[in-house]
């Protein structure tokens, strides 16, 4: 390989300055640091903040505008637009309806089945290591009798990160860790469901996903994730059926004449 080719290769691997600015601003917008309708800092302010030229800032703003996240208004500045991630904000609110948990799991299936397959073929060594670390953190918290929800969310988030497609990560982050039912902080927490055996079963499902990703088997990774999230849906459907059964028992008792 010639020195010119090596130089071109290094330049291709190194992210452009504008990409770094785009990533930072996108994250702040999607996380709500800049709310819809809010004006972004001026070009001059951003050049000082990021230590880049106005050209780089303009390139970043153009990209964010193309994504529908911001809008330049002549003579007024750049303003944040309402964006799809805000539609997920309702999922972070306190909502104890089991139907909400089922709906969230359905959305996650549409995202995470494919992300598992992509992670199996795209992950690098560091990303695979982080998935494993999250898996073993879940195991550690389980054995300590501590809440496992954050480790569970980290496991799924690291898989999304291993797709090397930032939108998978952004969507999961928008959904938030409260969409993980198996934690005492979840609005769908139920002590009769959240048992050691229940969590051990989840970890077995996680292991199948992890093994498939580590083996580079995209189809097996997809099927393992599908089975994992489908099983969670089934558990919540059973809870709804149980609630109906409890209601019928209570109604019969209330209508039974007392002697």
Among 44-58, 136-150, 184-198, the least confident range: 184-198
Provide the CB-side half-sphere exposure for 27 (13 A, CA): 8
Contact 151, 131 (CB under 8 A): no
Could you tell me the pLDDT band of residue 249, with boundaries at 50, 70 and 90? low
Contact 20, 63 (CB under 8 A): no
d(CA 142, CA 127) in angstroms, rounded, equals: 23
| Residue range 5-11: mean pLDDT, rounded | 41
Residue 77 φ then ψ, to 5°: 125, -160
Q: Which of 136, 166, 167, 165 has its CA nearest to residue 152?
A: 136
Strand partners, 70: 80
d(CA 100, CA 96) in angstroms, rounded, equals: 8
On whether the pTM is more than 0.75, the answer is: no
Contact 162, 131 (CB under 8 A): yes
d(CA 250, CA 254) in angstroms, rounded, equals: 6
d(CA 18, CA 251) in angstroms, rounded, equals: 64
Among 2-6, 134-138, 164-168, 227-231, the least confident range: 2-6
Residues 6 or more apart in contact with residue 146 via CB below 8 angstroms: none
Task: Please determine, for residue 121, whether its predicted confidence score (pLDDT) is greater than 90.
Answer: yes
| Residue range 11-30: mean pLDDT, rounded | 71
What pLDDT shows up at residue 125?
Answer: 96
d(CA 47, CA 206) in angstroms, rounded, equals: 44
Across all residues in the chain, what is the average pLDDT? 80
**Helix/strand number for the chain, H first, E second:** 10, 2
């Amino acid at each position: 390989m010639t020195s010119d080719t090596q130089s071109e290769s290094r330049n291709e691997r190194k992210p452009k300055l504008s990409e770094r600015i785009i990533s930072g601003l996108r994250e702040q917008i999607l996380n709500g640091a800049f709310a819809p309708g809010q004006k972004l800092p001026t070009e001059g302010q951003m050049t000082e903040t990021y230590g880049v030229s106005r050209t780089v800032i303009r390139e970043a703003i153009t990209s964010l505008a193309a994504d529908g996240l911001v809008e330049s208004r002549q003579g007024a500045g750049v303003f944040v637009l309402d964006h799809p991630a805000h539609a997920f904000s309702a999922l972070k609110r306190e909502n104890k309806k089991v139907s909400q948990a089922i709906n969230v799991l359905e959305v996650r299936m549409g995202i995470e089945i494919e992300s598992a397959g992509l992670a199996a073929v795209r992950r690098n060594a560091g990303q695979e290591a982080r998935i494993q670390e999250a898996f073993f953190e879940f195991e550690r918290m389980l054995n300590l009798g501590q809440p496992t929800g954050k480790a569970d969310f980290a496991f799924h988030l690291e898989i999304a990160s291993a797709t090397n497609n930032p939108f998978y990560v952004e969507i999961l982050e928008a959904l938030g860790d409260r969409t993980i039912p198996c934690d005492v902080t979840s609005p769908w927490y139920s002590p009769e469901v959240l048992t050691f055996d229940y969590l051990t079963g989840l970890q077995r499902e996680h292991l199948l996903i992890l093994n498939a990703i580590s083996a580079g088997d995209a189809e097996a990774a997809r099927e393992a994730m599908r089975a994992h999230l489908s099983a969670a849906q089934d558990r919540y459907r059973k809870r709804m059926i149980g609630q109906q059964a409890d209601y019928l028992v209570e109604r019969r008792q209330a209508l039974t004449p007392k002697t």
